[in-house]
Structure 1
Amino acid sequence: MDIFKNIILKIEQLNEQTVFQEVQADFHIAFGIDKNFARGMGILIDAIHSHNTEEKIVFHVFTDGINQSDLDKLKKLTVYQNIIIKIYYIDINVFKNLPTTLAWSYATYYRFIMGKVLYGTVDKVLYIDADILCIGSLAELKNIDMGENIVLAISEEGQFNVKRLGIQQGKYFNAGALYIDINKWNAAQIAEKAVGLLQENPEKYTYLDQDVLNILLDGKTCFIDRKWNYLYDMRKMNSELPKGVVFIHFIGDKPWQRWSEHHFMVSFYNEYAKKTPWANVPLVEPIHYKDKKRMARSFVKRNMYMRALYWYGSYAISKITAKK
């Protein structure tokens, strides 16, 4: 039984007219998002275009829904002649029995189905998270020899996850950016097996889909330079970027969240954002008690202690209320 049969409810192409066909594309780039990440994805699409104006790119957006305001903004990006944007609306019932967290919604599993849906029309697809910013050319990526591997990825530092999951190849990858050979992905039934593992033992996998993909792609991953998925945690890092970075991946707090505005990397991100239809969209305000705690810490870092005290108080009240 094909668990992914009829999972796509509707496909919508945002471009009314295009100057190239999908088969002529230099890159196919895919996203898996819910409505909360449409802004980040839109800014990323614009940034990719700005650094790759000579490349023909098709963007495949897998989602369970996008707010109309964000959809209208995405349509404005189709003024660029070298891109096509397609929206694939997903029936999320397939994933309803898989685990989620406050940080990861069902959208984290949408990367499973891209290979299934695009099979037969696309040979390779670059999957990237929407909390990434592109600051360089992609041209070099398509010349990397994948050999017999299914994906290109970057390894995370440390051996904790390698030992925790028994990864034989000795490296654990971050799934925020994966260059995928679709034919090999489908032949190995990665999507079906990933869902199966999560259904069998969901408690085992701390990082959900990322963990099971590491298990299934153990020995089938070609590890490439970290410039293709440079992990940057604004909660802990205050360093400048190394030279040559192509993708900055904002793990942890995001540059469009109010509690991140103190960090200098937010100004860097906003240089890209202000060129897009999301330029004047307000920052996301804290709602959950964990966000309010982050807000308090943000004011501490700016030596604004009275404001920090206010937010610590709001955090405490919200946490108590949430537990009732």
Structure 2
Amino acid sequence: MSNSIATAGQDKIVVVASSDDNYAIPMHVMFVSLLENAARPDRFEIFVIDGGISEKKKNNLQNDISARGGNVAFLQVDDGIYADFPTQKHISAPAYYRISIPELFNETVKRAIYLDCDLIIKADLEELWSQDLGPYAIAAVENIAGSTYLKSGLAQSDYFNSGVIIIDLVKWREQNIPEKVRTFKMEHPELISTNDQCAFNGVFRGEWARLPLHWNMQSGLYRNRRQVERLKQNGAYEKAVWTPSIIHYIGWSKPWVIPCFHPLEGEYRRYLEMSVYRHEPLEEVGTPVEYTAIKVFRKNVQKKRWQKKYRSKGINLYP
């Protein structure tokens, strides 16, 4: 299913992301944040599934990762596999490439962490790597959203976000998970409201290891929903919001564009300025057409209110 079979050292932490050229810089910054917060960066074997990244950006990534003691390799997926899969403006074909991860590695590689590009890592991923999956083939965090799960037919607490996952590659190969996910995606459009996240959930049907919420702090935690009230009951919410291990900038409002309404947008700039892209200007994209002036005003008020809460707790926000 691919034209590259990768290997990794026995004691290495295998981390995988996929990107086209448009998301290459955010992915680059994400990996800088990963290594800056790693006690032993040399343990990390980073793999990028290449969806058309320019040679210049690949060289920049190699330079920044090697300067921090890490290692990166680029993998290829046969584009034809996903040629008929639907895409959107902010979701291109490489968003599906994670489905193929077990097919890209030698059978000696038994576990991998997959990370989306729109993340900032604030903790050492050695701890995430050591999480026990028990009998499950995948570990993830519950998806924080009001309605994404509805089409799936699953309970909200059984529907995970696929932006941060630990993959048991042995079980995925044994159970032929990649082919099951691809088949589900194409045969059950009525159950799909996202790119491949609904397909993953349709295959696993609630059978996944639950990771603590702070390993995927999603933007939905800032909104007042019944789901958030449930999560507040066990203390998971407090740790995720105030001391997130991974910040996930879900939705169109990304920290590398203007405007951004995320209270922790500065964390992206913190690591951007540690990278070779420190002088790269943010992209001015404006707001979606459905965003009225009142809605933009409310978004800004909400952002500033949360930033004030962070500062009141002594949390240093990057300007």
TM-score calculated relative to the size of structure 1: 0.78
The equivalent residue for 2:279 is: 280
2:27 aligned partner: 41
| Structure 2 letter corresponding to 1:247 | I
Report the 3-state secondary structure (helix = DSSP H, G, I; strand = E; otherwise coil) of the residue aligned with 1:164.
helix
Do 1:233 and 1:250's aligned partners in 2 also have CA atoms closer than 8 Å?
no
Q: What amino acid maps onto 2:139 in structure 1?
A: L
> In the alignment, which residue of structure 1 is the partner of 2:15?
29
State the AA in 2 paired with 1:251: I
Matched residue, 1:250: 249
What's the secondary structure of 2:284's corresponding residue? coil
Contact 1:109 1:209 in 2 (8 A): yes
Counterparts of 1:282 and 1:273 in 2: how far apart (Å)?
10
Find the counterpart in structure 2 of residue 68 from structure 1: 55
Cα–Cα, structure 1 residues 221 and 300, in superposed 2: closer, same or farther, change >3 Å?
Answer: closer
Matches within 5 A, 1:136-147: 136-147=123-134
Q: Report SS of the residue matched to 2:170.
A: helix
Stretch moving more, 81-90 or 129-138? 81-90
Does residue 98 in structure 1 map to residue 97 in structure 2?
no
Aligned partner of residue 153 in structure 1, secondary structure = strand
CA distance in 2, matches of 1:175, 1:50: 24
Change (3 A) 1:133 1:295: farther
Query: C-alpha distance in 2, partners of 1:116/1:156?
Result: 26
What are the superposed Cα offsets for residues 44-76 of structure 1, whole Å, 9 maximum, x if unpaired? 111110111314101110122102332231122
Cα-Cα RMSD: 3.1
Cα distance change on mapping 1:169 and 1:119 into 2, 3 Å: farther
> Quick check: 1:23–1:121 contact (8 Å CA) kept in 2?
no
State the match for 2:227 in structure 1: none
> 166, 176, 201: which one pairs with 1:214?
201
Indicate yes or no: 2:153 matched with 1:154: no
One-letter amino acid matched to 2:214: K
Deviations 1:14-41 (A, max 9, x none): xxxxxxx931443100002111111111
Aligned with residue 230 of structure 1, among 197, 217, 241: 217
Aligned residue number for residue 37 of structure 2: 51
With over 3 angstroms needed to count, the CA separation of the structure-2 counterparts of 1:119 and 1:170, relative to structure 1, is farther
Q: Tell me, what secondary structure is at the counterpart of 1:90? A: coil
1:186 Cα shift? Answer: 1.3
Pick closer, same or farther for the CA change 1:294–1:46 going to 2, 3 Å. farther
- Find the counterpart in structure 2 of residue 179 from structure 1: 166
Match runs of 1:293-304 below 5 Å: none
Shift in CA distance, 285/236, structure 1 to aligned 2, threshold 3 Å: farther
Q: Measured at CA, do residues 299 and 274 of structure 1 come closer, stay the same or move farther in structure 2, by a change above 3 Å?
A: farther
Displacement of 1:204:
3.4
Which blocks of at least 5 consecutive residues in structure 1 are unaligned? 14-20, 304-324
Cα pair 1:65 1:89 within 8 Å, conserved: no
Runs of 5+ in structure 2 lacking a partner? 225-237, 302-319
Given residue 9 of structure 2, which amino acid in structure 1 is its aligned partner? V
Instruction: State whether residues 35 and 68 of structure 2, in contact with CA within 8 Å, keep that contact through their aligned partners in structure 1.
Output: no
CA separation in 2, counterparts of 1:294 and 1:285?
16
Q: Matched residues in 2 for 1:25 and 1:54: separation?
A: 12
The range that moved more, 248-257 or 97-106, is 97-106
**Distance between the aligned counterparts of 2:106 and 2:292, measured in 1?**
44
1:104-135 residue CA offsets vs partner (Å, 9 max, x unmatched): 11111101011111141311100010000001
Q: Which has the higher mean CA deviation after the structures are superposed, 180-189 or 194-203?
A: 194-203
> Number of residue pairs matched?
285
Give the superposition deviation at 1:240: 11
Q: Answer whether contact 1:99 1:202 (CA < 8 A) is retained.
A: no
Local SS of the residue matching 1:36: coil
Letter in 2 for 1:229: N
Q: Secondary structure at the match of 2:75?
A: strand
Query: Structure 1 residues 77-86 or 214-223, which shifts more?
Result: 77-86
Q: Which of 165, 172, 186 in structure 1 is aligned with 2:152?
A: 165
Tell me by how many angstroms 1:242 deviates.
2.8
Partner Cα separation in structure 2 for residue 140 and residue 177 of structure 1: 14
Q: TM-score, normalised by structure 2?
A: 0.79
